[in-house]
Chain A
């Protein structure tokens, strides 16, 4: 039990950008409720605590852990196991932990390709072509840096997860609602949803929350929103030829982007009814497209230059295929090498 008797709260970031932590702080004065009801024991962004402090805690000592970020390297994975062991409730927080998000798109590239981009890129000054050495024998002893994995995994591909809270980042009002719910549950005034539930989001699609009017109009080409000078404020974006991911994306954000005349990019991940986000989108896009002849269809598809980026922008690591086979081959070799 903690010093002041309050249940413990932790938040950890693995392979992520830090936007999730900002979203948590963005719940404004509700953060005081967090402080009033929880003892924050571990939150690298906000306070000083060491991994060894967490290791020293008894198992399940932390009541609630929000874990954001994907599993990109050995440190991320070790922390996922540690936080799982020390937490009663482990929440995959944000799109990276739930579905891989933008870092998951690296699953199209091998490690070497990623290193090339990072260490030999045009903005990098690296004349000797230096690469990270995961182990290094220094005079003072052997140094280790965490192994960079061939693919990015979602949190639940590494450890069991209690709840999923999608979004890039999750909307602050949704975070506030979840915090309220957990506090109410701690006081015995509410029950938590079944394990494995998606919390802080809807079950339907962004289209259901979007006020724009849908007709049965079909489109002759896709257009990048940046190339349009005028967007009809009332008409469905997809019907205007803007590749909007609303039809497959989980509701919960209130259709923020389409309301602001920007296409939904799919950060809340698959809705309850979609098994594979990209496959559902392909179905939806095929339905609004014109074209009965292969040549005509190919011409329309040419206006969608990056199909995987469009269909799997936030969920490649969680998709049915997860990664390009080339990358997987590399991982297999890696796994064989390890054992």
Chain B
């Protein structure tokens, strides 16, 4: 693996806990590597596995999923669904021949800025060790990327 590889990691955070943990890390000037791009969701339960697969298909080397600790979900029970989806995704990735450790689930409360920063740091090293997620073979991500088709109506139908 070459030494210049910098992993790109997409991180999904929950509005009520882990996003605030990341915010707290910033306020407290706790450093974590810039390899992660955080995206805020209202709840980790909003995380559709599509997001994870789309991130990987679009060029991410790893995906971090974060949410409130079990029993502390702002929406009561949605983080349990996240846990189930995460464990399912790991199995699907494994069967596809993709290292399941490219995805990681971390619980972080709004007070755990230091913990989140450490988890991010650990994950960057974990993905660095795994190497780039390559080769990729993404489907066109929006219809406009598909080759232009002249509408049937303009070509006439008879």
Q: Which residues of A come within 8 Å of B, CB atoms?
A: 7, 60, 63, 88-89, 108, 151, 156-157, 159-162, 185-186, 191-192, 194-196, 275-276, 278-280, 282-283, 285-287, 289, 291-292, 294, 297-298, 301, 306-308, 311, 318-326, 328-329, 331-332
Contact = CB atoms under 8 A, between A and B. Distances in A.
A194 to B, nearest CB: 7
Contacts of B50: 275-276, 279-280, 320
B129 interface: no
B24 interface: no
Contact of B149 (A195, A278, A289, A298): A195
B83 A185 contact: no
A93 to B, nearest CB: 16
B31 interface: no
Contacts of B134: 325
24 contacts: A7-B158, A63-B158, A88-B157, A159-B147, A161-B149, A162-B149, A185-B157, A191-B153, A194-B151, A195-B149, A275-B50, A279-B50, A282-B89, A283-B81, A285-B88, A286-B85, A297-B84, A298-B87, A320-B53, A320-B57, A320-B139, A321-B57, A324-B96, A325-B135
A111 to B, nearest CB: 15
A330 to B, nearest CB: 9
Given A192-B157, A282-B85, A329-B135, A307 B92 contact: yes
Interface string B125-150: 00000000111111100010011111
Interface of B: 48-50, 52-54, 56-57, 70, 80-81, 83-85, 87-89, 91-92, 95-98, 133-139, 143, 146-153, 155-158
Contacts, number: 131
A328 B137 contact: yes
A286 B81 contact: yes
A292 B76 CA distance: 12
Contacts of B52: 279
Contact of B49 (A279, A306, A325): A279
Given A160-B148, A279-B53, A328-B135, A321 B91 contact: no
A279 to B, nearest CB: 4
A196 B91 contact: no
B67 to A, nearest CB: 13
A289 B80 CA distance: 10
A325 B95 CA distance: 11
Nearest to B96: A324
A322 B91 contact: no
Nearest to B158: A186
A196 B57 contact: no
Given A196-B149, A320-B54, A320-B57, A291 B80 contact: yes
**Would you list the 4 A-B pairs with minimal beta carbon distance, nearest first?**
A286-B84, A279-B49, A279-B50, A160-B149
B80 A292 contact: yes
Contacts of B139: 157, 318-320, 322
A115 B139 CA distance: 26
Contact of A328 (B49, B95, B136, B153): B136
Nearest to A7: B158
A283 B48 contact: yes
Nearest to B88: A282
Contacts of A89: 152, 157
Given A192-B157, A292-B83, A321 B88 contact: no
Contacts of A161: 149
A286 B88 CA distance: 8
Given A185-B157, A279-B53, A320-B138, A162 B152 contact: yes
A192 B152 CA distance: 8
Given A160-B147, A278-B92, A283-B81, 7 more contacts: A191-B153, A286-B84, A297-B83, A320-B56, A322-B139, A324-B97, A328-B137
